Structure 1
Amino acid sequence: MYRILVVDDEPMIRRGLQKLIGEAHPAIVASDTADNGVEALEKIASCRPDLLFTDIKMPKMDGLELCREVSERYPDLPVVIISGYGDFEYARQCVAYGVKEYMLKPVTKTAVGRTVMKLIDGLETRRNAYIPLSATEEWLDRLQDAVWHLQTDGVDRVVEQMEAFCASAKIEPIRAEELMRELGNKLVDRLNAMDIYPFELPQGDEGSGSPFARLGESTRSMLEQLRAKRKGNLKEPVEEAKAYIELHLNRELSLEEVADRLGLNASYFSQLFKQMTKETFVQYRTKRRMERAKKLLSMPHHKITDVSAEVGYADHPHFTKTFKKVCGMTPSEYRESLGIRG
C-alpha cells in the first residue's frame, strides 16, 4: 500500500489533484497535502510518502527547491512536477534533480492515472527485489561468530558485503533500512539465546549514516560489551577456562566460579566446555589434577599426603580412590612403578 503527498499553494487545485490521485490506483491508501515546500519537507520527515506530486511556483519554498532538497535527503522518493509552466528550462532543472515525471496543468484523470500506475509499478519492482533467506542467515551466522570471537574486522567485512549485495540487487533504501533493523534484532536474539548475559541493541540516531553503517556500529558495540565482560581477554572462553583451572588445581574449583569469571551462564558454559573438549568440566578438572599429581609423585621429596593437598584433595582417601580410578593404580603403586620407595 502507498502514501501520496500533494504539494500546491492553490487549495482547489490541491484538493482536486489529491482526489484524482486517490482514484488512480487501488493500492493508494492515504494521501496528504502541503501548500509549500517547507511544509512538505516537514511532512516527509514525520511520515514519509511513497510518491510526491508538487507544483513549481509556490511561496516560501518553490517546487524546484523542494526537488533539490528531496534529491539530497530522500533520493529514492519518486517526484512528479505538475506546473502551468511549459518552459523547457524548468523541465531540464527537474531532470537534474531526479524528477520522474513532468505534467502540465490542467491535468486530466487519464494522465494522472497513467503516471501513478507507472510509478507504482516501478515501486513494486523495487520492493520485490529478492534477498535469499540463505544470504541473511549466512550474514547472521558470520556476525554472531565475529562478535563471539571479538573480531571487529570480521564485523566490518560482513557489513561491507551486505551493502555491496543490496546495491547490486538494487534494494531500495527503505527496504535496506528494514532489513538492517531486522538483522540487528535477530542478532541480539541469537546472542541472548546463548545465555551469555543480556545483550541490548544500542539505540542510536536513526537518521545518521547509512543503515549498514548503523548496523556495523551497533554490532561492534555489542562486541565491546562482550569484550568488557571477558575483562579484555581475547582468548577463546574454553582456553581461558583451562588456564584458570590450571592455576587453581590446588582447591575445589567449581564450574559456576569459572563461568562467572568468564561472564557466561553456567549451563551454557558447561555445554560449551563439553562441546569443545569432549569432556565434562569435572572430568577435565580431575584429569588435570591427576596429571599434576603424577608429576609431583615422581619427585621423591614430596609426601603422598602433601601431593593430595597440592591437587585440591583435603580428603586423602578420596584422592587415593580417584587416582586409582583414573590411573589404574594407587599413588603408592605409581611411585613404586617409578622405582621410588617410601
Structure 2
Amino acid sequence: MYTVLVAENEPWVLKGIVEMVEAAGEEFEVAGACLNGEEAWNMIHEVWPMILITDIQMPELDGLSLIQRMAEHRLPVVSIILSGYDNFQYAQRAISYGVSEYLLKPVEFQELRDTLHRSKEKLETLKDLNDYMNKFQSLLDNREALAPKQVMQKQSELIQSVLKLNVLNKNARVSLLNIFDSKLKMLLSELGQETKDIPGYEADNDLSILNYYRALLERWYLASSVSAKASVPEAIERSCRYIKAHYKDEITLTEMADFTNFSVSHFSALFKKHTGTSLVNYVNQLKIDEAKRLLLETAYAVSEVAEMVGFSTMPYFTRVFKSFVGLSPLEYRKRLNP
C-alpha cells in the first residue's frame, strides 16, 4: 500500500485530487488532505505518507518551500507538484529538491494515475523506511495503552533494529535516526522541554546511540504524562464540541486553527497534547463510531452509511473502518448482527 498526502488550497480541487488518487488503484491510499503547506508539514509528521501531491501556490507555506523543508530533513517521500504556471524556473527549483513530477493544472485523471504508477519503482525503495516511521509513530500514539516500561522497551527495540541497517544500508540508518531525533525534539519542544543537556551520540557507537534515544524517550514520556493530567484549555474543549457537532463535514487543521485563533502548528500541538491523538484520528474515530451504530441499528446499505458519516468514497471508508475495527464494514455487520 502506498500512502498519499494531498495539499491544495482550493477545497473543490482538493476534493477532486483525493477522489482521483482513490480511483487510481487499490494500492494507493489517501492518508490525509490539507489546505495549506504548514498544515501539510504538521500532517506529514502524523501520517508519514510515501507520496506528497502538493499545489505550488499555497498560503502559510508554499509547495516548493514545503518540499525544500522535506529535503532538508531528508524525509523519504516522493513529491509531485501541481501548478497553474508553466514556469521553467519553478520546474528547475522543483527538480533541485528531488520532485518526482511537475504537473500542470487542470490535472486529468489519466495523467495523475500514470504519474502515480510511474512513481511505484521509486516508492519500493521507501517502503521499509516508511514502515519504520509508522511503527515509531504508532508507539508514540499508543502511549496511553501501554505501560511505561513497555513503551520504552518497544521503542528501544525499534531503534536497535534501525541500528542493524548499518550493514546493508547506512544511508537508511542515518535518515531514520535523524527523523526520529527531529520528531522527539519537536514533541519535547511542544511540551516546553529543552534537550540541550542531553549529550549527543557517537555515530559509530551503537550503545551511545541507544542511550541518547532512551534519554529523549524517557524525557518525552515523563513530560507527556504530566501534561496529560493538566486541565484541557477551554479552546480545545470548545474545538472538541464543534468537531463532535460537525465531524460529518470536511474538518481541517486550518479551519480549527482559525476557530481557536491559534496558528496551525500551535493548535495541532495543543490538540494532541490534550486529546492524546491527532485531529485526523479524532475525527475518523467519531465517524467510525457512528458508522458502527448505523451498521448495527439500521438497514442502510454500507455505501449509504459511508456517505452519512462523511466519507467521500467507499474505498476510503472501508480502509479507515478496517484500520480502526480490524474488519470491513460488511464483515462487522455480519458478525455482530447476523
Same fold (TM over 0.5): no
- Select the structure of larger CA radius of gyration: 1
What TM-score results when the alignment is normalised by the length of structure 2?
A: 0.42
What TM-score results when the alignment is normalised by the length of structure 1?
A: 0.41
